[in-house]
Amino acid sequence: MTRIFWRAWALFLAVAWITIALACREKQVPVEELYTTRMLALSFLQRNQLPEAESSFKKLTKLAPDDPLGYADLGLTYLQAGRYKEAESQLDRARKLDPSSTEVRLALAKVYYLTGRSANARALLEQMRRDSTRNARVLYALAELEAQKNDSASTRAYIDRLRGVVAVAPANLAVRLKLV
Protein backbone atom coordinates (compact mmCIF):
# COMPACT_ATOMS: atom_id res chain seq x y z
CA MET A 1 0.00 0.00 0.00
CA THR A 2 2.78 2.42 0.93
CA ARG A 3 4.66 1.71 -2.29
CA ILE A 4 1.52 2.43 -4.32
CA PHE A 5 0.98 5.67 -2.41
CA TRP A 6 4.53 6.87 -3.08
CA ARG A 7 4.31 5.97 -6.75
CA ALA A 8 1.03 7.87 -7.03
CA TRP A 9 2.57 10.81 -5.16
CA ALA A 10 5.59 10.81 -7.50
CA LEU A 11 3.25 10.75 -10.50
CA PHE A 12 1.23 13.63 -9.03
CA LEU A 13 4.39 15.69 -8.48
CA ALA A 14 5.57 14.97 -12.02
CA VAL A 15 2.24 16.09 -13.46
CA ALA A 16 2.27 19.19 -11.25
CA TRP A 17 5.82 19.97 -12.37
CA ILE A 18 4.89 19.62 -16.06
CA THR A 19 1.76 21.74 -15.59
CA ILE A 20 3.78 24.43 -13.90
CA ALA A 21 6.48 24.29 -16.56
CA LEU A 22 3.87 24.71 -19.29
CA ALA A 23 2.33 27.63 -17.44
CA CYS A 24 5.78 29.25 -17.28
CA ARG A 25 6.40 29.13 -21.02
CA GLU A 26 4.36 32.22 -21.82
CA LYS A 27 5.66 34.27 -18.93
CA GLN A 28 9.29 34.27 -17.99
CA VAL A 29 8.72 33.00 -14.46
CA PRO A 30 11.18 30.55 -12.93
CA VAL A 31 9.64 27.10 -12.66
CA GLU A 32 11.18 26.71 -9.22
CA GLU A 33 9.28 29.77 -7.94
CA LEU A 34 5.98 28.43 -9.24
CA TYR A 35 6.61 24.98 -7.83
CA THR A 36 7.65 26.35 -4.43
CA THR A 37 4.66 28.71 -4.28
CA ARG A 38 2.26 25.91 -5.18
CA MET A 39 3.66 23.41 -2.67
CA LEU A 40 3.72 26.05 0.08
CA ALA A 41 0.11 27.04 -0.67
CA LEU A 42 -1.02 23.40 -0.62
CA SER A 43 0.76 22.93 2.69
CA PHE A 44 -1.07 25.93 4.16
CA LEU A 45 -4.38 24.58 2.87
CA GLN A 46 -3.78 21.13 4.35
CA ARG A 47 -2.97 22.68 7.73
CA ASN A 48 -6.10 24.86 7.54
CA GLN A 49 -4.04 28.06 7.50
CA LEU A 50 -6.51 29.65 5.12
CA PRO A 51 -5.28 33.28 5.01
CA GLU A 52 -1.76 32.08 4.15
CA ALA A 53 -3.12 29.61 1.59
CA GLU A 54 -5.24 32.35 0.03
CA SER A 55 -2.33 34.75 -0.38
CA SER A 56 -0.08 31.99 -1.77
CA PHE A 57 -2.68 30.83 -4.28
CA LYS A 58 -3.33 34.44 -5.32
CA LYS A 59 0.40 34.81 -5.91
CA LEU A 60 0.34 31.60 -7.94
CA THR A 61 -2.52 32.85 -10.13
CA LYS A 62 -0.53 36.02 -10.83
CA LEU A 63 2.59 34.03 -11.70
CA ALA A 64 0.70 31.57 -13.93
CA PRO A 65 -2.63 33.09 -15.02
CA ASP A 66 -3.28 30.29 -17.53
CA ASP A 67 -2.92 27.49 -14.98
CA PRO A 68 -6.35 26.22 -13.85
CA LEU A 69 -4.91 24.52 -10.75
CA GLY A 70 -4.13 27.83 -9.06
CA TYR A 71 -7.71 29.07 -9.45
CA ALA A 72 -9.14 25.69 -8.46
CA ASP A 73 -7.08 25.55 -5.29
CA LEU A 74 -7.93 29.17 -4.47
CA GLY A 75 -11.58 28.18 -4.90
CA LEU A 76 -11.09 25.23 -2.53
CA THR A 77 -9.52 27.60 -0.01
CA TYR A 78 -12.57 29.86 -0.18
CA LEU A 79 -14.86 26.82 0.01
CA GLN A 80 -13.12 25.63 3.16
CA ALA A 81 -13.43 29.15 4.61
CA GLY A 82 -17.17 29.25 3.87
CA ARG A 83 -16.75 32.05 1.33
CA TYR A 84 -18.97 30.39 -1.25
CA LYS A 85 -19.44 33.28 -3.68
CA GLU A 86 -15.67 33.74 -4.04
CA ALA A 87 -15.20 29.97 -4.24
CA GLU A 88 -17.69 29.72 -7.09
CA SER A 89 -16.01 32.58 -8.93
CA GLN A 90 -12.56 30.97 -8.77
CA LEU A 91 -13.87 27.50 -9.60
CA ASP A 92 -15.73 28.91 -12.62
CA ARG A 93 -12.49 30.50 -13.74
CA ALA A 94 -10.66 27.18 -13.38
CA ARG A 95 -13.45 25.38 -15.23
CA LYS A 96 -13.15 27.79 -18.18
CA LEU A 97 -9.45 26.97 -18.40
CA ASP A 98 -9.99 23.21 -17.99
CA PRO A 99 -13.62 22.26 -18.73
CA SER A 100 -13.01 18.52 -18.36
CA SER A 101 -11.50 18.62 -14.85
CA THR A 102 -13.43 16.26 -12.59
CA GLU A 103 -11.98 17.83 -9.44
CA VAL A 104 -13.07 21.34 -10.41
CA ARG A 105 -16.56 20.23 -11.36
CA LEU A 106 -16.96 18.20 -8.13
CA ALA A 107 -15.94 21.23 -6.08
CA LEU A 108 -18.34 23.41 -8.06
CA ALA A 109 -21.16 20.93 -7.40
CA LYS A 110 -20.32 21.13 -3.69
CA VAL A 111 -20.59 24.94 -3.83
CA TYR A 112 -23.95 24.66 -5.58
CA TYR A 113 -25.21 22.28 -2.90
CA LEU A 114 -23.93 24.40 -0.01
CA THR A 115 -25.59 27.51 -1.44
CA GLY A 116 -28.99 25.83 -1.71
CA ARG A 117 -28.84 25.02 -5.41
CA SER A 118 -29.20 21.25 -5.20
CA ALA A 119 -30.78 21.09 -8.66
CA ASN A 120 -27.69 22.72 -10.19
CA ALA A 121 -25.42 20.37 -8.25
CA ARG A 122 -27.42 17.36 -9.41
CA ALA A 123 -27.42 18.53 -13.05
CA LEU A 124 -23.65 19.01 -13.02
CA LEU A 125 -23.04 15.64 -11.36
CA GLU A 126 -25.40 13.86 -13.76
CA GLN A 127 -23.57 15.44 -16.69
CA MET A 128 -20.28 14.22 -15.21
CA ARG A 129 -21.75 10.74 -14.73
CA ARG A 130 -22.73 10.64 -18.39
CA ASP A 131 -19.24 11.78 -19.40
CA SER A 132 -17.49 9.12 -17.31
CA THR A 133 -19.74 6.32 -16.12
CA ARG A 134 -17.02 4.63 -14.05
CA ASN A 135 -15.94 7.52 -11.83
CA ALA A 136 -16.55 6.41 -8.24
CA ARG A 137 -16.20 9.93 -6.83
CA VAL A 138 -18.97 11.25 -9.07
CA LEU A 139 -21.22 8.31 -8.20
CA TYR A 140 -20.54 8.85 -4.50
CA ALA A 141 -21.33 12.58 -4.76
CA LEU A 142 -24.65 11.69 -6.39
CA ALA A 143 -25.35 9.20 -3.59
CA GLU A 144 -24.64 11.86 -0.98
CA LEU A 145 -27.14 14.17 -2.69
CA GLU A 146 -29.76 11.42 -2.43
CA ALA A 147 -28.95 10.98 1.26
CA GLN A 148 -30.00 14.57 1.97
CA LYS A 149 -33.63 13.83 1.16
CA ASN A 150 -35.76 12.12 3.79
CA ASP A 151 -38.11 9.92 1.80
CA SER A 152 -38.14 6.21 0.98
CA ALA A 153 -37.55 6.72 -2.76
CA SER A 154 -34.41 8.74 -2.02
CA THR A 155 -33.22 6.12 0.45
CA ARG A 156 -33.55 3.44 -2.24
CA ALA A 157 -31.78 5.70 -4.75
CA TYR A 158 -29.02 6.32 -2.19
CA ILE A 159 -28.48 2.59 -1.70
CA ASP A 160 -28.52 1.98 -5.46
CA ARG A 161 -25.95 4.74 -5.98
CA LEU A 162 -23.72 3.26 -3.27
CA ARG A 163 -23.97 -0.13 -4.98
CA GLY A 164 -22.87 1.61 -8.17
CA VAL A 165 -19.81 2.94 -6.35
CA VAL A 166 -18.97 -0.55 -5.08
CA ALA A 167 -19.36 -1.95 -8.61
CA VAL A 168 -16.81 0.58 -9.88
CA ALA A 169 -14.51 0.54 -6.82
CA PRO A 170 -14.96 -2.80 -5.03
CA ALA A 171 -12.13 -2.08 -2.58
CA ASN A 172 -13.87 1.00 -1.17
CA LEU A 173 -14.48 -0.20 2.38
CA ALA A 174 -16.15 3.01 3.57
CA VAL A 175 -18.93 2.62 1.01
CA ARG A 176 -19.22 -1.10 1.71
CA LEU A 177 -19.73 -0.34 5.40
CA LYS A 178 -22.52 2.11 4.59
CA LEU A 179 -24.33 -0.71 2.79
CA VAL A 180 -24.22 -3.04 5.80
What are the domain boundaries of the chain? 2-99
- DSSP secondary structure letters along 113-148: HHTT-HHHHHHHHHHHHHH-TT-HHHHHHHHHHHHT
CA-wise closest residue to 69 among 110, 21, 30, 29: 21
Q: In a structure prediction context, what are the per-residue pLDDT tens digits for the chain, which is 180 residues long?
A: 445 655 655 555 556 666 666 655 555 667 888 888 899 999 998 999 999 999 999 999 999 999 999 999 999 999 999 999 999 999 999 999 999 999 999 999 999 999 999 999 999 999 999 988 889 999 999 999 988 888 888 889 888 989 998 998 999 888 888 888
Strand, coil or helix: 63: helix
Pair 161, 143: CB distance under 8 Å: yes
Q: Tell whether domain 2-99 is in CATH 1.25.40.10.
A: yes
